[in-house]
Amino acid sequence: MLSPDEKVQSSPSEAAPSNSEQTLIAETKPSTGHSLRREIRVWTRDLLIAIGLALVIIIFLYQPVKVEGTSMAPLLSDQERIFINKFVYRFEPIERGDVVVFWYPLDRSKSFIKRVIALPNEVVQIRGGVVSVDGKVIPEPYVPPQYEDLSDYGPVRVPRDMYFVMGDHRISSNDSRVFGPVPSRSIYGRAVFAYWPVDHFGTLSSSAEAKEK
């Protein structure tokens, strides 16, 4: 029975490697090490390029913003940090249910964040807190009962190239019921992702999610 040391030893009957074989072995070892270092450099370079591209995308495509106030509770809380997509509406239409960021119509030095309720040329009406668009009740699972505003509004037709927006926290929201519909040119982004606080980390509800509920 062979011991571990004996297993790795060459048999006495085996011929020692020739000078040419020894030279080949000696030359192969450094070559393997060089290849490994080169591969590490390539991987490092590719990783840095990927990180750089990700930063460029985040900087130019997405913008971090801080939410102030509670008009979009419970979806968004005061001082919450989110990312908005600044270019999405260059390629997609604004849809009902989108949570959008726009310049405040009465003071363009301020930005507001609200949810799109009615689209251009639609007629919006509120009776006892129930919102109807073109005579059809709009399901609003994002508005908890304790945040409902039971007052009436409208009917009002939304002008062309404008959008009727409201906060989810209806009883404490300064929105289109006060300052009127928002021009499309004033809407510059859609809220897409929350990153702080950690317990709110994740994507934000969109029109597609609202339709599914």
Give the mean pLDDT of 92-111: 95
For residue range 130-162, list pLDDT tens digits in order. Answer: 999 999 999 999 999 999 999 999 999 999 999
Give pTM, 2 decimals: 0.72
Pair (58, 74) in one structural domain: no
Q: Give strand ranges (E) for 104-167.
A: 111-118, 123-127, 130-133, 136-137, 153-157, 162-166
Q: Is residue 83 part of a domain?
A: yes
Pair (44, 76) in one structural domain: no
Active site residues: 71, 114
Residue found under tokens 């509920």: 213
Question: CA–CA distance from 14 to each of 7, 10, 96, 140 (Å)?
Answer: 14, 7, 82, 84
Pair (112, 144) in one structural domain: yes
**Count: domains in the chain:** 2
Pair (33, 112) in one structural domain: no
Give the mean pLDDT of 1-24: 45
- The percent of residues above 70 in pLDDT, for the chain, comes to 79
pLDDT at 162: 98
Pair (153, 52) in one structural domain: no
Q: How many residues does the chain have?
A: 213
Cα 121 from Cα 28, distance rounded (Å): 76
Pair (78, 172) in one structural domain: yes
pLDDT at 47: 87
Helices (H), the chain: 4-7, 19-61, 176-179, 207-212
- The percent of residues above 90 in pLDDT, for the chain, comes to 61
Expressed as residue numbers, the domain containing 44 is 19-63
Pair (100, 193) in one structural domain: yes
Cα 125 from Cα 156, distance rounded (Å): 7
pLDDT at 175: 97
